[in-house]
Structure 1
């Protein structure tokens, strides 16, 4: 039995789907099971990581937990993550945590959750993906409305990962041995600048899309509202700025864990073309 937190999100839903397709027993955590929309064979239960005790009744018979941390505030991670990890580790031998490269900064929420899991006593694996290709769905409204995407740092070169690749890597860590204590950096197969990403979407949907550089301060104000956290917006903008001069790292981790090359950004765009039309 695999328990999946964040089961209705971009990655969690894919993990649930793959596990179900492979005949694994899946217990999916949702704040609102009635609206989860998961496969019929999946057991959907109600719990909230903000209340660690709500998770405990659902851990009976579970062999591994896929942990997605939903809070960006380091203070919440500092106070709540140790208890979540303790509750899980008391009943489950394996935790696979969806982290990020930013976990190398110990006071980031990713790093705080990693420390909590690492000291919990459970066997652990940390998945540290680069940016999600799915984040570029944020351009969908602009693309449906016209031919120009306004965004900052068009020259930022990203190695964005397809959520299906990340989910397949997670399933490998959840269901097979040899991953204990690993910190896996996962990426797409090559770097593509943000401006080129827009052009790829355009080619995919048969339109000539163009990039328009957005002033950084305008982007910061918009992202602060979207994220609900100006500090998180600053982290995102600093990352994009860094990728202009130093492209995001490319790894072969997806291929090593899944047995196939990572999907390209063009493949991701083709898989999500309907969202941009």
Structure 2
């Protein structure tokens, strides 16, 4: 059986579906199991319980464990888990000690290596397409997307592509001991993202650039931890004016990566006026 942490998240849900389609048994972890709304054949458990009996492989998402990776990974080691596939970050390549996203994911990778289990560390580059959901409310009500760096370039990755690479790492031996780094298929500025959302939904979206202080306060109000807010501001500032390097996912999936326009089409109702 395969254990999926963060099973109700952006990557977890499509990964659950990939594994079910492959005929595998899945135990899904959720902070609120009663409202998980996962397929009936999925065994759902509370993240805090971390039940590992009968589990052979684990998909590990750091965000599912606010207390950090040390304790849950130690429990996996004690349980003799054979394989751990972790959603890491390409930021681990940044040795800036102020980049707490990088620091925490380097720590995650170290803890997993020390278990002696087979491992794969997924390192999506270019940002998650799903971060555009932060604009959903303001686009629905005002037709505006606010962000501090209109000319910051990224190559947003569709969560279904991340899930597909994770499934390959869990179901085959091809990615054992590897660190797949892949981006979305196109380099886009944040102003481009806003424009594409308008084009796909048929409801034009205006991009409004925030100052750094305005962005800081908005992100803090949204519940983003202060260290992550400051890391975001530093990271995005470095992306201004330079198209993002493309790291194709093709070699891992045998097909091109899904575009940002495809991602918007998959979530279009989230942005349209009169929806919630």
Is the shorter-chain TM-score for this pair beyond 0.5, marking a shared fold? yes
Structure 1: give runs of 5+ residues left out of the alignment: 49-53
Structure 2: give runs of 5+ residues left out of the alignment: none
Residues 228 and 142 (structure 1 numbering): CA distance in 2 closer, same or farther, change over 3 Å?
Answer: closer
Query: 2:219 & 2:146 partners in 1: Cα distance?
Result: 13
User: What is the 5 A alignment of 1:192-203?
Assistant: 192-203=188-199
TM-score, L = length of structure 2:
0.90
Residues 191 and 126 (structure 1 numbering): CA distance in 2 closer, same or farther, change over 3 Å?
Answer: same
Query: 1:230 & 1:86 partners in 2: Cα distance?
Result: 28
Instruction: Pick from 77, 80, 84 the counterpart of residue 72 of structure 2.
Output: 84
Contact 1:157 1:191 in 2 (8 A): yes
Residue correspondences, number: 264
Deviation, 1:46, is: 2.0
Instruction: Pick from 57, 60, 67 the counterpart of residue 67 of structure 1.
Output: 60
- Could you list the per-position Cα deviations for residues 59-105 of structure 1 after superposition, in whole angstroms to 9, with x for gaps in the alignment? 233221000112697xx43xxx2332122133211000001112234
Contact 2:6 2:29 in 1 (8 A): yes
Runs of 4+ residues over 4 Å off in structure 1:
none
Deviation, 1:118, is: 1.3
Query: 1:46 & 1:147 partners in 2: Cα distance?
Result: 38
Greater percentage in helix: 1
- Could you list the per-position Cα deviations for residues 105-124 of structure 1 after superposition, in whole angstroms to 9, with x for gaps in the alignment? 47621111111111111111
RMSD: 1.7
TM-score, L = length of structure 1:
0.90
Instruction: Pick from 86, 102, 121 the counterpart of residue 91 of structure 2.
Output: 102
Query: 1:34 & 1:145 partners in 2: Cα distance?
Result: 31
Query: 2:152 & 2:242 partners in 1: Cα distance?
Result: 8
The answer for the alignment partner of 2:110 in structure 1 is 115
